[in-house]
Amino acid sequence: MSSPGTTPIETTSAWQALSKHQQQLSHSRISDFFANDPERFKNFSLQAPELLFDYSKHLISSETIDLLLELATQAGIGDAITAMFKGDLVNNTEKRPALHVALRSPHKNTAEEKEVHTTLSKIESFVAKIQCGEWTGFSGKPITDVINIGIGGSDLGPAMVYEALSPFHSNQLRCHFVSNVDPCHLEQTLTNLNPETTLFVIASKTFTTLETLQNANAAKIWLQGFASDIDLTKHFVAVSSKSDKAIAFGIDKNNIFPLWDWVGGRYSLWSAIGLPIALGTSMQCFRELLSGAHAMDEHFRTSPLNENMPVLMALLNLWYLNFFQVETQAILPYIQNLHLFPAFLQQLDMESLGKSVTKDGDLLNVNSGGLVWGSAGTNGQHSFHQLLHQGKHIVPADFIASASSPTSHSEQHRHLLANCFAQSQALMQGKSLKEAKAELATLGYSESDIATLAPHKVISGNKPSSTIMMQALTASALGALIASYEHKVYVQSVVLGINAFDQWGVELGKQLSAELFQAISSDEKCASFDASTNALINYSKPRIKEKNKRIKE
Give the residue-averaged pLDDT of 386-397: 96
Tell me the pLDDT band of 505, cut-offs 50, 70 and 90.
Answer: very high
- Whether 146 contacts 276, CB under 8 Å: yes
Q: What is the DSSP letter of 348?
A: I
Residue 552 has pLDDT above 80, yes or no: no
Residue 513 has pLDDT above 90, yes or no: yes
pLDDT of residue 545: 86
pLDDT for 153-200, tens place per residue?
999 999 999 999 999 999 999 999 999 999 999 999 999 999 999 999
- Residue 306: count other Cβ atoms within 10 Å of its Cβ: 13
The answer to which of 78-82, 192-196, 455-459, 502-506 has the lowest mean pLDDT is: 502-506
Element (H, E) at 451: helix 447-453
Catalytic residues: 351, 382, 510
pLDDT of residue 507: 87
pLDDT for 38-64, tens place per residue?
999 999 999 999 999 999 999 999 999
Give the residue-averaged pLDDT of 333-358: 97
Contacts 24+ apart (CB under 8 A), 431-438: 431/457, 431/458, 431/459, 431/461, 432/458, 433/458
Dihedral of alpha carbons 60, 63, 69, 73, sign: negative
SS3 143: coil
Residue 525 has pLDDT above 70, yes or no: yes
Give the residue-averaged pLDDT of 243-259: 96
pLDDT of residue 5: 41
Alpha helices in 1-141 (DSSP H): 13-25, 30-36, 40-43, 62-74, 77-86, 111-132
pLDDT of residue 86: 97
Scored b (16 or more CB within 10 A) or e, 187-216 reads: eebbeeeebbbbbbbbbbbebebebbbbbb
Residue 2 has pLDDT above 90, yes or no: no
Give the residue-averaged pLDDT of 290-317: 98
SS3 content of the chain, % helix, strand, coil (to 5): 55, 10, 30
pLDDT of residue 208: 93
The DSSP bridge pattern shows strands 397-402 and 465-470 to be parallel
Start-to-end C-alpha separation, the chain: 62
Average pLDDT, the chain: 96
Residue 553 has pLDDT above 70, yes or no: no
SS3 523: coil
SS3 197: helix
Give the residue-averaged pLDDT of 493-507: 95
Q: Which structural domains are found in the chain, ordered by start?
A: 9-74+304-429+463-502 (3.40.50.10490), 100-289 (3.40.50.10490), 508-552 (1.10.1390)
pLDDT for 409-424, tens place per residue?
999 999 999 999 999 9
Within 13 Å and on the Cβ side, how many CA atoms surround 103?
A: 26
What are the beta bridge partners of residue 257?
239
**% of the chain exceeding 90 in pLDDT:** 95
**What's the pTM value of the predicted model, to 2 decimals?**
0.96
Give the residue-averaged pLDDT of 252-280: 97
pLDDT of residue 550: 77
Tell me the pLDDT band of 6, cut-offs 50, 70 and 90.
Answer: low
Tell me the pLDDT band of 1, cut-offs 50, 70 and 90.
Answer: very low
- DSSP string across 463-514: --EEEEEESS--HHHHHHHHHHHHHHHHHHHHHHT--TT--GGGHHHHHHHH
Query: Degrees (nearest 5) of the Cα angle 372, 375, 377?
Result: 135
pLDDT of residue 4: 38
- Whether 158 contacts 276, CB under 8 Å: yes
- Whether 149 contacts 178, CB under 8 Å: yes
